[in-house]
Amino acid sequence: MSISQQLATISQQIQQYSRQADRPIEAVKLLAVSKTKPVSAIQEAIAAGQRCFGENYVQEGVEKIRHFADPNLEWHFIGLLQSNKTRVVAEHFDWVQTVDRAKIAQRLNEQRPDHLPPLNVLIQINISDEASKSGITPAQMFELAEQIQQCPRLTLRGLMAIPKPESEPARQKIALAAMQALFTQLQARYAEVDTLSMGMSDDMQAAIECGSTMVRIGTAIFGARR
């Protein structure tokens, strides 16, 4: 299938799962994860109407952003962010989904150029408590949220998680429902919080049932990565 056909299929699934979960069809955004994929693939997705893209690697992402130089596109950094790479991320991306410490938030805040709108950020939660994964514990959420709130060049938009893979929807929903509960708590405190980024190819339906507002899909749109 072509990229535009794959995008259409995913969009239909998002709509169907949203309807089944009694959620409005526009409640869930699709982030097309284009890491390692060439600009020609992204161009195909743009031609099919896709506007939001996720990139994991700073240099690669920035090259793509510069290549398209299109203010209608929205670029999300979704990879591991080292503090020595924050400047170029702050200068180019629209969103950072993987903020997991105050130092990163403060650097992004200082380095976000004045001519750009505030950088949208999500706090990454290590919801399955995996030693190998980045993200903070749920108990640390409000402390980091408060630190982000002190940063005028950042806008706290919500939470992101990469739960441990589970094949059973009932098991997937343990972590996803825990994220939904945290998100509800955060939303009650911060007016601009509107984004819960969770759900990939294998847990998209369960994530939508648990209130995800943004699913991140790579392979099912662009094909396998080498």
Residues of this chain that interact with ligand PLP (CB under 6 A) are 33, 35, 56, 78, 162, 200-201, 216-220
Please say which residue, 145 or 162, places its beta carbon nearer to ligand PLP: 162
Please say which residue, 18 or 124, places its beta carbon nearer to ligand PLP: 124
Please say which residue, 33 or 105, places its beta carbon nearer to ligand PLP: 33
Please say which residue, 13 or 56, places its beta carbon nearer to ligand PLP: 56
Task: State the minimum distance, in angstroms, from the CB of residue 224 to ligand PLP.
Answer: 8
Task: State the minimum distance, in angstroms, from the CB of residue 60 to ligand PLP.
Answer: 13
Residue whose beta carbon is closest to ligand PLP: 218
Task: State the minimum distance, in angstroms, from the CB of residue 79 to ligand PLP.
Answer: 6
SS3 track for the chain: CCHHHHHHHHHHHHHHHHHHCCCCHHHCEEEEECCCCCHHHHHHHHHCCCCEEEECCHHHHHHHHHHHCCCCCEEEECCCCCHHHHHHHHHHCCEEEEECCHHHHHHHHHHCCCCCCCEEEEEEECCCCCCCCCCECHHHHHHHHHHHHCCCCEEEEEEEECCCCCCCHHHHHHHHHHHHHHHHHHHHHCCCCCEEECCCHHHHHHHHHCCCCEEEECHHHHCCCC
Please say which residue, 32 or 193, places its beta carbon nearer to ligand PLP: 32
Which residue is listed with tokens 């950020």?
A: 121
Task: State the minimum distance, in angstroms, from the CB of residue 217 to ligand PLP.
Answer: 5
Task: State the minimum distance, in angstroms, from the CB of residue 37 to ligand PLP.
Answer: 10
